[in-house]
Amino acid sequence: MAITFQQAFAGHDETLKFRSARASVLANNIANADTPHYKARDITFDSMLQSEVNRLDLAGSDDQHIAGSSTFGTDDALLYRNPSQPSLDGNTVDMQREQAEFAQNALQFDTSFLFLERKVSGMKKAISGGQ
């Protein structure tokens, strides 16, 4: 029985894409901490999943033909963050929260990368015979 990369990576490759997209959004929030009327945004796994499910468009000319389309990381999955202490200029970025979320996201990215690295290492050993 043949194994595919999709099966071998067990979703860790997609997790890295999600973590990269979230890091970009959080970095954007941090960069705009002093911008008046800037609204902090974030991506959750649930919102990204729902966005992808809504985008999935199945069609085919045969029962065994399935075509799907997806655009990962679009604005549909971005949510506005509710501020715990809104500022007078309308900015909703809480710098401490953004930095904590960024650090947690970085840790989760590193964890997923480690899992993916070990999967690839195991596949290399299987191909080379454990040498």
Note down the domain range covering 43: 10-48+74-128
Stretches in the chain below the pLDDT threshold 70: 1, 3, 5, 51-53, 55-76, 130-131
Domain annotation covers residue 62: no
b/e per residue 52-81 (b: at least 16 CB within 10 A): beeeeeeeeeeeeeeeeeeeebeeebbeeb
The tally of domains found in the chain comes to: 1
Distance CA(24)–CA(8), nearest Å, equals 27
Domain annotation covers residue 4: no
Domain annotation covers residue 95: yes
Domain annotation covers residue 65: no
Query: What is the predicted pLDDT for the residue at 63?
Result: 61
Domain annotation covers residue 90: yes
Query: What is the predicted pLDDT for the residue at 126?
Result: 84
CA distances from 25 to 81, 92, 98, 102, 121 (A): 12, 14, 10, 9, 31
CA 130 vs. chain centroid, Å, equals: 33
* pTM for the predicted model, two decimal places: 0.72
Query: What is the predicted pLDDT for the residue at 65?
Result: 57
